[in-house]
Structure 1
Amino acid sequence: MATMAIPVVGPFLDLAWAPYAAKSMSKMYPGKKGKLASILVFIEEILPFTDIVPSFTLMWLYTFVFSSANKPVENVVFEAEMVR
């Protein structure tokens, strides 16, 4: 969204940012979800005036908040060591 602050050149910087953002998304989230998210990020960055969509934040929420809420918590053992 920072590219929109630069008057004439800003929207054209998104042409360079879109492939980088898509590649970063696919690295951060491997598998089918990452591929789909990287395609959506690329489209979102290429289209004008869609920079306001927080695509990386939405993907994080989907991965760690909404998807993990459906998974049951298994037996988790925490080990602690007391230091004196």
Structure 2
Amino acid sequence: MAEEKDPKYRNLFLGLLFDGIGMLSFMIPGIGEFSDVIWAPIAGWLMTRLYKGRVGQAAGVIAFTEELIPGLDVIPTFTLTWIYTYLLSKKKSLPAKE
């Protein structure tokens, strides 16, 4: 079977996994916020690898910031970026009616 060129479902799976990892800090009282200092730059970098161009760059900054600020770990940034990329932004590519 040929490999799919569009990594749509791979990005969804990885996004759910990375969002889960980001939310794990709530499970470890006291250590959780320290782990966010380590996870925040990793999450930002991973986001730029999953999504190329301006979307990836903007989402990387948002993921970094969201993971770094205490209490915002519940926001599923990777999943929201997937929704934007594969569901919402596709509507822009429809041909214009004259």
Which structure 1 residue ranges, 4+ long, deviate > 2 Å from structure 2? none
Tell me if 1:37 matches 2:53.
no
Partner of 1:64: 86
Partner of 1:49: 71
Task: Report the CA distance between 1:61 and its aligned residue.
Answer: 0.3
SS of alignment partner, residue 67 of structure 1: helix
Partner of 2:24: 2
Partner of 2:44: 22
Point out which structure has higher relative CO (alpha carbons under 8 A, 6+ apart): 2
Flag the structure with higher helix content. 2
Number of matched pairs? 73
Task: Report the CA distance between 1:20 and its aligned residue.
Answer: 0.5
Indicate the percent of aligned positions where both proteins have the same amino acid.
Answer: 38
Structure 1: unaligned runs, 5 residues or longer: 74-84
Structure 2: unaligned runs, 5 residues or longer: 1-22
Partner of 1:12: 34
Task: Report the CA distance between 1:70 and its aligned residue.
Answer: 2.7
**RMSD between superposed Cα atoms in Å:** 1.1
